[in-house]
Amino acid sequence: MKKKFYLLLLLLATVLTTNAADAKWCLVVESAGGETIAIGADLKPVIKTTADGYELKYGETVTAFTWSELKKVSIKETEPTTAVEEVSVKPAFQVTPGEVAIQGAEPGSVAQVFSVSGQLLQSARVADNGSVSLSTQNLPAGQVYIIKTTKSTFKIVKK
């Protein structure tokens, strides 16, 4: 893993020697959780290793990944950009007895639980880290419920 990373850094250093304003490439970073970030060359992305993993810096933004969180880093040919393109990824959810836990939802948005007839039964604000928990303890068993976030909608059956 580290060997691949250092080879990628060498490739990135080679590409970065071109004039960033004329460059037609972007750095694409994929996390193990499914998040993908594409950063234009004109934002001068920098990846460095830390004691815990990797640190990605572009513009004024710094994002840290642990060794296990980073899945893939690649360079893609593209048109120059002055913005970071964040690829939409559906949230992950886990259903446990009494709760639905959602990770990767849009921070500050609202997650909702609906009956199949469309009645709003519960809602909760998503935390800054993109997580939210919805209690299913008071919902009748044997029913289908619809869980909705800004990025996705899915159904559960409470047993």
Cα 44–chain centre separation: 21
Rounded CA separation 48/156 (Å) = 42
Sign of the Cα torsion 134, 139, 141, 144 reads negative
Q: Is 92-157 in CATH node 2.60.40.3080?
A: yes
pLDDT digits (tens, 9 = 90+) for 106-131: 899 999 999 888 899 999 999 998 88
Give the sign of the dihedral formed by CA 75, CA 80, CA 84, CA 86: negative
> Could you read off the pLDDT of 6-46 as tens digits, one per residue?
555 544 554 444 444 455 677 777 777 777 777 777 777 77
Residues of the chain with CATH 2.60.40.3080: 92-157
Q: CB-based contacts of 115: which residues, under 8 Å, 6+ apart?
A: 121, 143, 145, 146
The position carrying tokens 């490739």 is 11
d(CA 2, CA 51): 13
* pLDDT for the residue numbered 80: 47
pTM of the model: 0.45
Candidates 64, 23, 25; CA nearest to 47 is 64
